[in-house]
Amino acid sequence: MLVVRPIQPQDYAALYECAVESGYGFTSLPVDEDLLRRRIARAQEAFAREHVSEPGEEGYLFVMEDTETGKVVGCSGIEAAVGLTEAFYHYRLGKVVHHSKSLDVYNALETLTLCNDYTGVSELCTLFLREPFRKNQNGRVLSRFRMLFMAEFKERFSQFAIAEMRGVSDENGESPFWGWLEKHFFSMDFNQADYLTGIGEKAFVAELMPTFPIYVKMLEPQAQQVIGKVHDNTRPALRMLENEGFRFRGYVDIFDAGPTVEVEVANIKSVRESRRKPVQVGPVEAGSDVILCNTRVADFRAGRAQIQETDEHIIVSPEVAAALLLEEGDAARFVAL
């Protein structure tokens, strides 16, 4: 069974392998030993906090483990509130109108303005599933279980959540959008800039990034065409989030111009439709296919399971109960897969 659980120090090697395999443009998972170890330690601190009344600096990082082999096959994370100590940048798409009545000229021009509008919101991040396991809806489980975690522990997260989607880049990791910025404002390639941001070195953004609005028409055609577009490998993840209620509101990444999608947490489909019921352990007949989790923080477990539901409780098999650390009478949260 594939089970999602909080990351542990012994998962470092597997997390590093995920970082290597994720490739260019995956900002939240850079190939950097010190940063990855810090992320693991920070996650452990977050899971260890028993009493949290409002979102803060917590970063929750989970791994998906094959319980038969003990192999970590993917990772997934939630940031409780972004930008509280380090600036969190986006470009906001807007419009400026140039109008002369006497000359009968009217031009509505798109602009990109550097902003910090998403400061304090929660972020779904660091979703990566290793290639051999991209089947049987494993990716859906690895993404959507986070919404059950947010539904169960609402006080730990903001009213709103975002997800930054990977933008367009070529096989060498070069971004057409960054190519224009590099030519006019920077002296580093896309991969270097992306890596520096991933390890927390963001001062150069404020120092070198143009802070005045940029007219989109000033950009080269190749750069204009990728604004708000996602990498081919990211399309399934974007479709899934859109099905959950996430929407693009005109905010794009400052490096590759990939879209950021947002939603009110209470309106996420999996949050609205999830239910919480006591558990009975026993044989499951004619069960429903669900994403199921326990209701603990430090010992959180989630996975795909077959359950039988009644008005008062759900029935889970002994194997599923053991894997998800559920005992008779425990509460569990679930949503249809």
Task: Give the pLDDT confidence score for residue 87 in this predicted structure.
Answer: 83
pTM (predicted TM-score): 0.90
Mean pLDDT computed over 207-223: 85
Task: Give the pLDDT confidence score for residue 321 in this predicted structure.
Answer: 97
Catalytic residues: 231
Q: What are phi and psi of 206, to 5 degrees?
A: -65, -35
Q: Where are the domains of the chain?
A: 2-91+115-270, 274-336
Confidence of residue 216 (pLDDT cuts 50, 70, 90): very high
Q: Does the pLDDT value for residue 194 go beyond 70?
A: no
Amino acid, single-letter form, for residue 302: A
Task: Give the pLDDT confidence score for residue 173 in this predicted structure.
Answer: 72
Q: Does the pLDDT value for residue 185 go beyond 80?
A: no
Contact 298, 279 (CB under 8 A): no
- Spell out the SS3 assignment of the chain: CEEEEECCHHHHHHHHHHHHHHCCCCCCCCCCHHHHHHHHHHHHHHHHCCCCCCCCCCEEEEEEEECCCCEEEEEEEEECCCCCCCCCCEEEEEEEEEEECCCCEEEEEEEEEEECCCCCCEEEEEEEECHHHCCCCHHHHHHHHHHHHHHHCHHHCCCEEEEECCCCCCCCCCCHHHHHHHHHCCCCCHHHHHHHHHCCCCHHHHHHCCCCCEEHHHCCHHHHHCCCCCCHHHHHHHHHHHHHCCEEEEEECCCCCCEEEEEEHHHCHHHHHCEEEEEEECCCCCCEEEEEEECCCCCCCEEEEEEEECCCCEEECHHHHHHCCCCCCCEEEEEEC
CA atoms within a 13 Å half-sphere pointing along the CA-CB vector of 26: 21
Q: What is the pLDDT of residues 98-116, one digit of tens each?
A: 877 788 888 889 999 999 9
Which of 26-30, 95-99, 247-251, 323-327 is the least confident region?
A: 26-30
Q: What is the pLDDT of residues 134-174, one digit of tens each?
A: 999 999 999 999 999 999 999 999 999 999 998 998 877 77
Contact 183, 208 (CB under 8 A): no
Task: Give the pLDDT confidence score for residue 187 in this predicted structure.
Answer: 63
CA end-to-end span of the chain, whole Å?
16
Q: What is the pLDDT of residues 231-277, one digit of tens each?
A: 888 898 899 999 999 999 999 998 889 999 999 999 999 999 999 99
Tokens of residue 323, six digits: 């894997």
CA distances from 132 to 3, 138, 204 (A): 16, 11, 38
Instruction: Tell the CATH topology of 274-336.
Output: Barwin-like endoglucanases (2.40.40)
Task: Give the pLDDT confidence score for residue 180 in this predicted structure.
Answer: 80
Task: Give the pLDDT confidence score for residue 193 in this predicted structure.
Answer: 65
Paired with 71 in beta bridges are 66
Tokens of residue 257, six digits: 């111009």
CA distances from 125 to 94, 100, 120, 130, 248 (A): 26, 46, 15, 16, 16
Reply yes or no on domain 2-91+115-270 having CATH 2.40.50.140: no
Contact 271, 324 (CB under 8 A): no
Tokens 């929660």 correspond to 122
Tokens of residue 212, six digits: 């005045």
Task: Give the pLDDT confidence score for residue 179 in this predicted structure.
Answer: 81
Task: Give the pLDDT confidence score for residue 108 in this predicted structure.
Answer: 86
Q: What is the pLDDT of residues 45-57, one digit of tens each?
A: 999 998 899 999 9
Contact 161, 125 (CB under 8 A): no
* Average model confidence (pLDDT) across the chain: 90
Task: Give the pLDDT confidence score for residue 14 in this predicted structure.
Answer: 96
